[in-house]
Amino acid sequence: MANIVVMGGGIGGVTCAYELKDAVRDEDRITLVSNKAFFQFTPSNPWVAVKWRSKEDITVDLAAVMPKHGIAFNSAGVARVCPSDNRIELADGSSLPYDYLVIATGPELAFDEIEGFGPEHHTHSICDVDHATRTNASWEAFCNDPGPIVVGAVQGASCFGPAYEFAMIMDADLRRRRIRDRVPMTFVTAEPYIGHLGVGGVGDTKGLLESEMRHRHIKWITNAKVDKVEPGKLSVTEVGEDGKPSKTHELAFNFATMIPAFRGIPAVRGIEGLCNPRGFIVVDKHQRNPKFSNIFGIGVCIAIPALEQTPVAVGVPKTGFMIESMVTATALNIGRPAARRKCDP
Ligand SMILES: Cc1cc2nc3c(=O)[nH]c(=O)nc-3n(C[C@H](O)[C@H](O)[C@H](O)COP(=O)(O)OP(=O)(O)OC[C@H]3O[C@@H](n4cnc5c(N)ncnc54)[C@H](O)[C@@H]3O)c2cc1C
């Protein structure tokens, strides 16, 4: 019998636990460990911020669902991975041994890398459902007293789709409320051009998104580095092709939401051979860590190098479709007897 632990109850972790159930032997034990009692469908968080959906609409109680599938569930959260001992330490002080470990813990949101940035300071967030719920309260207050909006993604971000999506969601919501004309909108992004998306564009995303932004009267600043955020004011340096500052902007706002840079979670950061300096899990083409061969990584928590150099750093997005492929590869690789023998701890 093998003891398989999956860390993280998000899109990667939950789907991996399900797929593992089909891929491994009946006698193998699968445990899902998360730091929240619920699954959230992250792509719907932007809708929660404008109340097009509620938290209840887009979350699932994992403790109720997992046992029905023969998967044990623990919501204590992982405090530290101990790969040399093949165990994880949980935040409640207990310890869980594993034969195989799948890490799917998504990102830690690096708001602290910019002064005044993030939901504890002067900007809002849509990255987490509880952030999005809090954002909604501010959104309602903003709509009663509208003014300029700043939206986008900061330096080092690797998730641009939701920034564009949220700009257009706000535009649509403001139109419905018939107050769009009272809200100048500026899209601020680390991307070298609109529609780059961290991958050098996809088809004609540059043309399509520029046209859509013009159509919706959303101005933009690209190659942008956010220097700091103060109440109602975002300070931005625009960088030239050579990476040198070319212009500075002080943008007044009544409402600001920017996607932060991501990094790996503290439970894995600094473990040599397991992750890169930003705490992202290093994996090979089989989704397996080269040093600890019984550890696999999937989803936003894995290390993928930037696709091309850009004047301001941007990362490669890890989208749902990519995550599904990582999940299937991981489940089948752990399930295959030959792979088991090769990485037996
Ligand atoms: C706002 C937003 C919208 C997006 N929209 C789309 C979209 O439309 N299409 C698309 O393809 N992609 C989208 N993405 C990208 C991607 O699909 C999502 O980020 C997806 O949720 C990533 O899945 P994941 O499992 O890797 O990480 P997550 O969904 O972040 O899950 C990580 C899980 O690990 C848990 N965890 C964290 N720390 C610990 C710990 N210490 N111990 C145990 N568990 C822990 C978390 O609670 C969470 O349950 C979006 C991303 C964002 C932020």
Query: What are the pLDDT digits (tens) for 285-314?
Result: 999 999 999 999 999 999 999 999 999 999
Percent of the chain scored above 70 by pLDDT?
97
Tell whether ligand 1 has an atom less than 6 A from the beta carbon of residue 42: yes
Q: What is the pTM of this model?
A: 0.96
Q: Is 264 in the pocket of ligand 1 (CB under 6 A)?
A: no
> What pLDDT sits at residue 336?
83
Helix (H) or strand (E) holding 295: strand 295-297
Percent share of the chain, pLDDT over 90: 96
pLDDT of the residue at 125: 98
Query: Phi/psi class of residue 26: alpha, beta or left (left: φ > 0; alpha: ψ in -120 to 50)?
Result: alpha
User: In this structure, what is the dihedral angle of CA atoms 255, 260, 265, 271, given to the nearest 10 degrees?
Assistant: -160
DSSP for residue 20: H
**44 in contact with ligand 1, CB cutoff 6 A:** no
| 33 in contact with ligand 1, CB cutoff 6 A | yes
How much is the mean pLDDT over the chain? 96
The residues pairing with 286 across neighbouring beta strands, listed in sequence order, are none
pLDDT at 338 over 70: no
Question: Does 198 have pLDDT greater than 70?
Answer: yes
Q: How far apart are CA 131 and CA 170, in angstroms?
A: 16
CATH (residue range 111-259): 3.50.50.60
Residue closest to 58 by CA, chosen among 142, 146, 129? 129
Closest by Cα among 167, 151, 149 to 215: 167
Residue 34: per-residue pLDDT: 98
Say yes or no: do domains 3-42+57-107+264-342 and 111-259 share a fold: yes
Q: What is the pLDDT of residues 201-240, one digit of tens each?
A: 999 999 999 999 999 999 999 999 999 999 999 999 999 9
- Tell me the pLDDT tens digit for each residue of 239-266: 999 989 999 999 999 999 999 999 999 9
For residue 97, the model assigns a pLDDT of 98
Per the CB < 8 A criterion, the answer to whether 135 and 124 are in contact is: yes
Q: What is the pLDDT of residue 343?
A: 58
Report the run of H or E that residue 38 belongs to, with start and end. Answer: strand 38-40
Q: Are 303 and 276 in contact (CB under 8 A)?
A: yes
List the chain domain ranges: 3-42+57-107+264-342, 111-259
Banded pLDDT at 115 (limits 50, 70, 90):
very high
Model pLDDT, residue 342: 53
Contact status, residue 148 vs residue 186, Cβ threshold 8 Å: yes
Q: How far is the CA of 123 from the centre of ligand 1 (A)?
A: 20
CATH code that applies to domain 3-42+57-107+264-342? 3.50.50.100
CB 92 within 8 A of CB 76: yes
Instruction: Please report which confidence band the pLDDT of residue 341 belongs to, taking 50, 70 and 90 as the band edges.
Output: low
Instruction: Tell me what pLDDT residue 165 has.
Output: 98
> Which is nearest to 157 in space by CA: 113, 209, 201?
113
Judge whether residue 345 has pLDDT over 70.
no
Helix or strand or coil: residue 291? coil
Atom of ligand 1 nearest to the CA of 41: 21
Burial of 141 (0-12, 13-18, 19+ CB in 10 A): exposed
Q: Which mutation among 300, 301, 321, 324 tests ligand 1's pocket best, with the greatest number of atoms within 8 A of CB?
A: 300
pLDDT tens-digit profile of 133-144? 999 999 999 999
Distance between CA atoms of residues 68 and 253, nearest Å: 48
